[in-house]
Structure 1
Amino acid sequence: MFEFGNPQYLKLLWLIPIAIAAFIAWRYIINQRIKKLGKASIVEQLMPKRSTLRPVYKFIVWSLAVISLVFLVSRPRYGVRTEEVKRQGLELVIALDISNSMLAEDIKPNRLTAAKRAINQLIGQLENDRISLIVFAGDAFTQLPMTSDYGAARMFVDMVEPELISNQGTDISTAINRALVSFSNSDVRNKAIIIISDGEDHEDKAIELAQSAVEQGIRIFTLGMGLPEGSPIPIKNRPNDFHRDRQGNTVITRLNEGMLQQLASAGNGAYIRANNQRVGLSNLFDELNKIEKGEVVEKVFAEYEEQFVFIAALSFILLILELLIAERKSQFWQKINPLKIQKRFFKLTYSKNEK
């Protein structure tokens, strides 16, 4: 893992493009003034030590030195050793329904947005627990593997949209299957699956899989999003337009409480219904607190190695090099110019041969 100890100083890198623009403007002004002196041959005679490239080289080295100094004060470092941290907590897999029916607005602002808010509130109540996020519709995939990084979990929750899965419909069994392989291999019975859905399951394998989960020591809780009266499903980016069936009738999606209740019962958990007054998180917390916490193992980076020495040395070398580069031509460097040395060598050799 790589990080900066003082990332706020990285903003100083914006000085580089400003400096480049200023340097280009300055060189343009200098060149325009020199052109006013006359022809290039005359300028060469008047200013024999003038160099057009040395200031550019000097500026490039200066820019690299500034960049390295900014990185130096930003304290780059990376983790070099991991260790296992053991805590007492739960392993939770949240399976979130992202089928189009979750866009229904019987739960305000819509079922999916309310569900995402509920998940973030749940994450805010966790302490030593690990969490994973699975999204499902006609298929299921892992949006976030098992982790105790709650900041990352919130970020991945906020990214959830129905477009993540092209195969629409609702198949809760695919979510349970995916959840079962998301847990650690320990035998501790501190694991639970939280299914958040409107319950409009188009398959019939979920109950059987819930019973299989219980045999593995995993409990299943269901959170029903929606109202029994139902609601039309808005079409995204098309105001006042709704999904219709093949006959042109507006599709009404309803909360299937019976399905979710059976699933929770088969999973030795509890069913909780959300409405516009409350999502039901307090009841869910009460149920989760009844689960005996077990040992949760997390691998974390234990140490960071500062990259101070390498970058400090690089900065020092660049600064010295910048000081050594003169903006004007140097007689010393002209004297040791390889081409001139070669010419002098052949000249001396030729004169000796003549003698």
Structure 2
Amino acid sequence: MIEGIGEVHFANGRLWFLLLLPVALLPLYVWASLFRRKVERSFSGQSLVKAMILGKSPFRRFMFGFLVFLGLEALGVAILEPKYGLKEVTVRGMGIDIAFVVDVSKSMKVADVVPDRLGATTIEIVRLLDQMKGNRVALVPFAGLAFVQTPLTLDYEVIKEYLASLRVTEMPVPGTAIGRALNVAIRALRAEEKKPRKVIILFSDGENHEGEPEKVAEELAKMGVVVFTVGVGTPSGQPVPLLDESGKVVGTMREKDGVTPVISKLNEDLLRGIAQKTSGKYFALTQAGGVAEEILKELQAIEKAEYGSRIESMMEDRFQYPLAVAVFCFLLAFLFAGGALRTQTALLCLFVFAYPFSLDAKGFFERQHPKVKEALSLIQSGQTGDGIKLLEEASQEMPLRPDLYYDMALAYALASDYEKAISAIDKAIEAHQSLKEKGEAEPQMARLLFAKGTILGQWAKKMEEEKKGAREVRDKWRQALDALSMALLLAPDDKDIRRNLEIAAMSAYPPCYKLDDRFEPNNSLQDASFLEPHPDTNEVKEELFLCPKDEDFFKLPLRAGESVFARVLDPQEADKEKPKPADVDITLLDENGASLSGPAKSVFAHAKGAQKTVYYLVNHQGEMEDGIPYVLSAQIIPPCPAGDDSFEDNDTKEGAKEIKDGTYALRVCPADDDWFVYTEKKGERMDVVLKVQGDEGPLEMEVFSADGALLDARHERQKDLNLVIVSLPKAENDAIFTIRVYGGGNEGFYELSIEKGKGGGQNNQNQQQQQNEQPQGSQTMRELLESIDKNEENLEAKDALRSLPKDYAPIKDW
């Protein structure tokens, strides 16, 4: 325990009595002086005696005694280990070492908990592993004999596999030896290594048949190992089942009389005693519920205490200074002892000793800046925020001090402000790189990079606790991995860097299934996940993730007459006006999995006659290493007339709407013709082109000149598009044309284009073919959706919307 005297703290304050020892020598010194004087007076020739001891004057003797006394006092102060000022603390581990000690004796097959004691133990350990991050874990199963099934590892999947394979019938020695199991766990944890913290979690019913586990627990307590015990079963117990070689229950075990069943009861007293002796805690695993969450809280408390202690002990050891005073006093005393040879030797030692000390004095006194000392005091008292403010002020007065920025980073980390902590450590790295003295650059830079990687790891763990997105957490772990990798290159023998690098590497590249979205599993048509449109906007927008060698299937119900336009977008640009498509493809499927459209970046579906469910497949064409994030966006378009375009009301020739050169994404409803007016400029020769998807319509187009004459139209088929093309005559003056698009009793989405032409012929057809080889569906539907959103004059649409119930939403059959 650290005891404080003013602003100075003493780590070994309990040894204060050492300061009294030099005082106890004072009577001896006085007695020796008196005895010396008595001896001198006993000689007859006192003048001759004084000449013989000329070098031993009373002043020299006094200074010799005084310096020895002062040196002993300074040595005592050094032994007390004074601490003050900020210390350049190295952040160590990001986790703890845990050994799961599992009882696999025959009594663990008792079914007083579901499914049985061993099964319940396995379930709880798996739950713990699923929630733990960054802790190394070992597995030690035992019965009459214990062994290390899995040494310390970060691969939790291996632990789970071995847990699933544990069989009571496969244990070589029957019985229950808890003490022996704890001893094996000590070796598995490498308890001789003080860091990181060691924890044993014992799952057992407490029926111990040999050994003295309490004594082993006392030894564990001396080593600083904490033991959490989990009592599996009930105090009343149940009969122990009799198993055959395959592990199947074939009866009940009996006592020697062959009649009385063997009852196995939970021994809570033994397990509770083991936990108490090691400052651990006892948990009861019964029918009432699991213990994984409670144990996890205790483990997190140990992690935070372990991490916090390293951050909070920011006081610098200063024992070297009183020790230096002690050595200095002893050398001076040696000088006053007299003699030419002694004097020369003492002066040489003083020069050698003082030279390096003077070089370090400047750095020491700069560390004792008043604001730094006050900041330390505030941080020690728990006022981290105020302490950080003073450190920031000190950094303004002492710029380009990597050690000061380093301390600021640790203080920010203590306050869990990891963003500012990383900013501070980056400044420390930048300041260090700008220094002229590069002689010690590598070890210093390794320490800074190690601190950065460790703080990033702590940040990632906090994000996991806050249930942040798995991919966001993964990216933070990868930043930590990068920093720790650079640190290891500079300090390849550093064990702390290696250990944290191992932790970061396991978390930076987790199995892809842990990063996948909430719709999983949806890897087949039968497992297709429902997409739920927003009730107000009829829009679907989901941030998703596609793992390597995986496919995502979705389904979306449509009401009769509804249409849907779906596309896959890059998550970084999904909210932009013209977003970039994702590096995946979407395919429209029927209910049997047959492709209707795609693969492409967007697909369109229409429920013409009755309600239907559309299916989508999202996959990636080619190899990928790390999975691909994407946004699936789908917009449901209401049936006619509510879903008509923004040019309505243009159902008659008199209501025709003016259009200009360009392309328009439009929709025609049953018995609802679309009329337009176009003015061809003098000297131009334009083509009017109607483009319709193959499964829409069929739709037709007519173009009339100003005198009412019907112009010739030609029909073409290109890929999945039906085209109707009317070439306008070259205009001698501005000429007005009327355009009619109709479907009779049909409805459909179409694209109407006014583009430059040559009045017909093969050249015009070739030009038209080149233009139509570009994909049109995505552009057409996007423009249509925009036009629907801007439909302010569509009276029929407004009437239809008013007639719908207020709680209108697409029918959902899930």
Bin of the TM-score, shorter chain as denominator length: 0.5 to 0.7
- Confirm or deny that 1:289 pairs with 2:300: yes
SS at match of 1:142: coil
Aligned length: 217
Deviation, structure 1 residue 203: 2.5
1:239 to 1:169, Cα distance in 2 relative to 1, 3 A: closer
- Identify the match of residue 135 of structure 1 among 123, 141, 145: 141
The amino acid of 2:282's aligned partner reads: Y
The amino acid of 1:212's aligned partner reads: E
Structure showing the higher helix proportion among its residues: 1
Aligned to 1:201: 208
- Identify the match of residue 259 of structure 1 among 270, 275, 282: 270
Q: Is the 8 A contact 1:88 1:293 kept in 2?
A: no
Q: Is the 8 A contact 1:134 1:144 kept in 2?
A: yes
d(CA) in 2 for partners of 1:145, 1:161: 19
SS at match of 1:228: coil
Q: Is the 8 A contact 1:193 1:221 kept in 2?
A: yes
Deviation, structure 1 residue 299: 7.7
Q: Is the 8 A contact 2:122 2:164 kept in 1?
A: yes
- Identify the match of residue 92 of structure 1 among 78, 98, 104: 98
Deviation, structure 1 residue 215: 1.0
Deviation, structure 1 residue 118: 0.7
Deviations 1:98-120 (A, max 9, x none): 00000000011100001011111
The alignment's TM-score, normalised by the length of structure 1, stands at 0.58
Aligned to 2:197: 190
Q: Identity of counterpart residues, as a percentage?
A: 30
Q: Is the 8 A contact 1:101 1:233 kept in 2?
A: yes
Aligned to 1:244: 254
The alignment's TM-score, normalised by the length of structure 2, stands at 0.26
- What are the equivalent positions in structure 2 for 1:195-234 lying under 5 Å apart? 195-234=202-241
The amino acid of 2:137's aligned partner reads: I
Q: Is the 8 A contact 1:173 1:205 kept in 2?
A: yes
SS at match of 2:113: coil
The amino acid of 2:156's aligned partner reads: Y
Q: Is the 8 A contact 2:145 2:177 kept in 1?
A: yes
SS at match of 1:107: coil
- What are the equivalent positions in structure 2 for 1:309-324 lying under 5 Å apart? none
Deviations 1:112-160 (A, max 9, x none): 0010111111111111100000001111011111000111111111111
- Confirm or deny that 1:151 pairs with 2:151: no
The amino acid of 2:289's aligned partner reads: R
The amino acid of 1:286's aligned partner reads: K
- What are the equivalent positions in structure 2 for 1:293-304 lying under 5 Å apart? 293=306, 297=499
Deviations 1:179-217 (A, max 9, x none): 111124431251100000000011241111111111111
Q: Which moved more, 1:215-224 or 1:230-239?
A: 230-239
SS at match of 2:100: strand
d(CA) in 1 for partners of 2:185, 2:136: 13
- Identify the match of residue 173 of structure 2 among 162, 167, 171: 167
Which gives a bigger RCO, structure 1 or 2 (Cα 8 Å, sep 6+)?
1
1:190 to 1:236, Cα distance in 2 relative to 1, 3 A: same
d(CA) in 2 for partners of 1:129, 1:192: 10
Aligned to 1:56: none
d(CA) in 2 for partners of 1:286, 1:162: 30
- What are the equivalent positions in structure 2 for 1:20-31 lying under 5 Å apart? none
Give ranges in structure 2 of 5+ residues lacking alignment.
1-91, 308-495, 506-814
- Confirm or deny that 1:180 pairs with 2:186: yes
Q: Which structure has the larger Rg over C-alpha atoms? A: 2
Q: Is the 8 A contact 1:213 1:267 kept in 2?
A: yes
Aligned to 2:727: none
d(CA) in 1 for partners of 2:172, 2:254: 18
Q: Is the 8 A contact 1:87 1:128 kept in 2?
A: no
SS at match of 2:270: helix
Aligned-residue CA RMSD (Å): 2.1
- Identify the match of residue 123 of structure 1 among 118, 129, 139: 129
1:89 to 1:253, Cα distance in 2 relative to 1, 3 A: same
Q: Is the 8 A contact 2:140 2:181 kept in 1?
A: yes
Q: Is the 8 A contact 1:189 1:218 kept in 2?
A: no
Aligned to 1:78: none
The amino acid of 1:117's aligned partner reads: I
Give ranges in structure 1 of 5+ residues lacking alignment.
1-85, 303-355
The amino acid of 2:499's aligned partner reads: V
Deviation, structure 1 residue 293: 4.0
SS at match of 2:220: helix
The amino acid of 1:126's aligned partner reads: M
- What are the equivalent positions in structure 2 for 1:15-94 lying under 5 Å apart? 87-94=93-100
SS at match of 1:121: helix
Q: Is the 8 A contact 1:189 1:217 kept in 2?
A: no
Q: Is the 8 A contact 2:97 2:196 kept in 1?
A: no
SS at match of 2:234: coil
Deviations 1:232-272 (A, max 9, x none): 11122565611111111110000000111111111210000
SS at match of 1:201: coil
- Confirm or deny that 1:280 pairs with 2:291: yes
d(CA) in 2 for partners of 1:142, 1:163: 18
Deviations 1:37-84 (A, max 9, x none): xxxxxxxxxxxxxxxxxxxxxxxxxxxxxxxxxxxxxxxxxxxxxxxx
The amino acid of 2:210's aligned partner reads: E
